[in-house]
Every structure is written in C-alpha cells, then in structure tokens.
C-alpha cells in the first residue's frame, strides 16, 4: 500500500512508525487507520522486526479524529469509519477478545512503544494506551475527549484504562474527559518515562535496542502474550500452569542453551532468528 499519512523507518530489529500529518497535529483519518493496519501486518510478519515505536511528526502525537471526519458523521447521519471492507488484520486470530480495532495491538508478537512527542486526544490517546509501553514529553496535553463530543468512551478505553491506572484514575479521565498533562499521567502510572520533548524518541529507541540486545526473541513475544492473556481471566492457577508449560518447552530451545553459554559473561547472546511465536495463531476471523 502506498503510504500517504505514515512513514516507516527500520533500524535492525526496531521499526519506527511516524504519524505524518503534521499540519493537522497528525489528526486521525480513515486513511491513516487503513495504512496503520497494513503497515503492522507487514511488520508482524517480518522475521527481523521485534519492537515498533509509534510517534508523531512535528508538534503532535495524534490530536484525535480529524475535525472534517467528525463533521462528516453529521452529514452522513451516523458514524462512518472511512475505512475499506478489506482492512488488514494484524494481531487477529490470537484470541477472539483481541479481534477488534486497536485491541489487535495486544495480539501482535511485536512489542510496541508509544513515543508521545505532543498532544494525544481521543483515538490518539487510545492508540498510545494500547501500546505496551509509553514514553512521553513533559507538559504535553492528554484527553479522552469523547464526553465533549457526545460520544461514548471509545475503542475499549473503559476496559483498558482501569487495568493500566486503576478504577479511580480511569473514572476521572473517562467521566470528565478533562485535559491533563503528561506530568499528571506519569503520577497516575500511565507512562513509563517522562522526558524533555527532544529526548522522547531517542529514549524509546535506546530502550528498544536494549530489549533486542538482551532479551531473546521468543522470551519477548511470549512474555507479552502472557501479560495480555492473563488480563483476560482471573485464574492465577491457570497462569502458573501455563508458565510451567512454556518453561518446559523453552528450556529445550537453542536460545536457552545460548543464554546459558553467555550467562555471567560480557559476551552478548547470539539469538536465533526469526523469533519463535509464543502460541500458535488461529486463522483470522472474517
């Protein structure tokens, strides 16, 4: 697919996806949605890429839905996502619960990092929250935004935010749709790092490089999958038993022998490629 609203850059096992509508603070459109899913379908299939950073060009991360798109809902008499019927389905087929907009980010074998360089509102905030990690610039404005637009809490944030920051803070953000800054969001536990604006992307990149260098591909994807799946049930015993099953398998793999070989030394491990998927994928639902 020809990219008109995104840019993709590769640096070894780390890819950076940049929302590229800076004249509109990278406001969300159906075209951007379509391109993002297409790009991630390619990245998740790429045997080299392990970590993807999402950031915005210019002064914004993503200012939410483009105002022209919002106006079109009124003109059309209802909601129109502006996307084609044949959207790519990255992350689909892992768990039925994850086969939905933005929830698919949790189904990826890739680890995702949001580098929040500027304001994130509405769908832009949802995109950042569905990433596995969030690095942000100090003093940047965040808002769920939906309340002021006569909309419901969008894209599963009513499920996700209580799990990220607890019910008390989630109620505050969702019921009020107020604007808060990244400084307050850091205190809530929504962010992993708070940095000067010009350090956000370099810090995210350095963190990604560390993950790639020090964590085996299979461990990285498997651990992400464990974290996600365990949010979908409340059976601690099932989590323990699943971990034991994975342990029994992964200690027979070449990367375990490689890890033991270099353990206690300064020599970097030579991890196998491509990463071993943590669980078999089912066929995507159609």
- Residue 38 in contact with residue 91, Cβ under 8 Å? no
One DSSP character per residue, 231-266 reads TT---HHHHHHHHHHHHHHHTTSHHHHHHHHHTTSS
Domain boundaries, the chain: 6-211
- What's the rounded Cα separation, in Å, for the pair 144 and 153? 8
Helix or strand holding residue 159 (H, E): helix 157-165
pLDDT tens for each residue of the chain, 286 residues long = 899 999 999 999 999 999 999 999 999 999 999 999 999 999 999 999 999 999 999 999 999 988 666 555 556 666 566 788 889 999 999 999 999 999 999 999 999 999 999 999 999 999 999 999 999 999 999 999 999 989 999 999 999 999 999 999 999 999 999 999 999 999 999 999 999 999 999 999 999 999 999 999 999 999 999 999 999 999 999 999 999 999 999 999 999 999 999 999 989 999 886 544 444 444 444 3
How far is the C-alpha of 43 from the C-alpha of 50, rounded, in Å?
Answer: 9
What span, in angstroms and rounded, lies between the C-alpha atoms of 146 and 177?
A: 6
Q: What is the pLDDT of residue 75?
A: 63
φ/ψ (deg, to 5) at 262: -100, 0
Whole-number pLDDT of residue 72? 58
Topology, domain 6-211 = 2-enoyl-CoA Hydratase; Chain A, domain 1 (3.90.226)
Output the pLDDT for position 65: 87
CA angle 65, 71, 73 (to 5 degrees): 90
Residue 80, pLDDT score: 60
Q: What is the pLDDT of residue 1?
A: 84
pLDDT of residue 23: 95
């Amino acid at each position: 697919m020809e990219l008109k609203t995104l840019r993709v850059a590769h640096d070894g096992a780390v890819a950076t996806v940049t929302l590229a509508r800076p004249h509109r603070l990278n406001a969300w459109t159906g075209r951007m949605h379509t391109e993002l899913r297409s790009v991630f379908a390619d990245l998740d299939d790429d045997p080299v890429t392990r970590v993807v950073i999402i950031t915005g060009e210019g002064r914004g991360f993503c200012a939410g839905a483009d105002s022209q798109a919002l106006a079109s809902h009124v003109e059309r008499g209802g909601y129109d996502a502006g996307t084609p019927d044949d959207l790519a389905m990255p992350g689909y087929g892992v768990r039925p619960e994850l086969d939905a907009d933005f929830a698919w980010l949790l189904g990826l074998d890739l680890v995702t990092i949001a580098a929040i360089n500027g304001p994130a509102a509405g769908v832009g905030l949802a995109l950042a929250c569905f990433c596995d990690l969030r690095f942000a610039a100090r003093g940047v404005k965040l808002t769920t935004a939906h309340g002021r637009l006569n909309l419901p809490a969008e894209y599963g944030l009513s499920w996700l935010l209580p799990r990220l920051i607890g019910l008390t803070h989630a109620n505050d953000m969702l019921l009020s749709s107020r604007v808060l800054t990244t400084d307050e969001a850091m205190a809530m536990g929504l962010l992993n790092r708070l940095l000067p604006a010009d350090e956000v992307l370099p810090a995210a990149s350095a963190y990604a490089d560390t993950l790639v260098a020090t964590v085996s591909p299979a461990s990285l994807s498997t651990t992400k999958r464990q974290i996600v799946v365990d949010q979908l049930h409340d059976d601690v015993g099932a989590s323990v038993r699943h971990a034991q099953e994975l342990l029994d398998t992964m200690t027979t793999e070449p990367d375990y022998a490689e890890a033991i070989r270099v353990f206690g030394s300064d020599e970097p491990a030579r991890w196998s490629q491509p990463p071993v998927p943590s669980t078999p994928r089912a066929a995507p639902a159609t």
